[in-house]
Amino acid sequence: MSLVETFFNWEVFVSSFPLLLSGLRVTISLGAVSIVAGLVLGLAIALIRLYGVRPAQLVARLFIDLFRSIPILVLLIVVYYALPFVGLSLSPFMSAALSLTLVSAAYTAEIFRAGIEAVPRGQFEASFALGLNYRQMMRDVILPQAIRIVIPPLTGNCINVIKDTALASVVAMPDLIKQATQAQALEANPTPLIAAALMYIAILLPLVYLVGRLEKKSRREYTQ
């Protein structure tokens, strides 16, 4: 068998394509759900970590440290295989989304915290001096500036979340890589795996370029 027939077999590709496409849809929706939920939760945790009452700050800190140190694969296995013992059975999608969200939220919280802390003190003082309350200050003054600072690292975190969706295949999630390995077994040919790899790259490569460009841009703005 030639290399092309083995790894780039057109017939195998065509017959496995519908399966791959459904996997891709699952991967994208899992990624999207986890990214959005992670953003919202991460922002909330960052605000608690910075401005909450002391005990709440400690909890937020513990959350961040815990979920940054646990490997996602381990978390995923615990959520999917261990939680049913305490009566909490989650579907593969829910398990994967929960695990990815928790870890993404921990990283996002740190990114937001750094972004908020990078907004100069004078912006807080000017807001207070004008009589803005805490919420108004955050919404109208601090967060719009912090978000510009955090967009490049947040995009980087999105890339990690999408990559990590591949781990969900261990809990029988029919995502892109799971479907690809299944198709590979079915066809006795690795072409679907190569196709899956190319699909991952097709989604992520633009994001990788985007991060690079955003970083360059924010550096330029910073030095102005």
Cα 96 from Cα 151, distance rounded (Å)? 25
For 142, the token pair is 């601090």
CA 150, chain centre distance (Å)? 14
What is the nearest approach in angstroms of another protein to the Cβ of residue 218? 13
Whole-Å CA distances, 179 to 49, 62, 198, 200:
40, 36, 14, 13
Q: Which is nearer to another protein, 17 or 128 (CB)?
A: 128
Helix (H) or strand (E) holding 117: helix 92-118
Q: Tokens 């296995």 identify what position?
A: 77
Answer yes or no: are the C-beta atoms of 23 and 176 closer than 8 Å.
yes
What is the nearest approach in angstroms of another protein to the Cβ of residue 117? 17
Q: Which is nearer to another protein, 3 or 121 (CB)?
A: 121
What is the nearest approach in angstroms of another protein to the Cβ of residue 128? 6
Q: Which is nearer to another protein, 143 or 180 (CB)?
A: 143
Cα 14 from Cα 44, distance rounded (Å)? 45
What is the nearest approach in angstroms of another protein to the Cβ of residue 137? 9
Q: Which is nearer to another protein, 126 or 197 (CB)?
A: 126
What is the nearest approach in angstroms of another protein to the Cβ of residue 118? 13
Q: Which is nearer to another protein, 17 or 134 (CB)?
A: 134
The binding site for another protein (CB under 8 A) comprises: 120, 122-123, 125-126, 128-133, 136, 140-141, 144-145, 148, 224
What string of DSSP letters covers 8-25?
Answer: S-HHHHHHHHHHHHHHHH
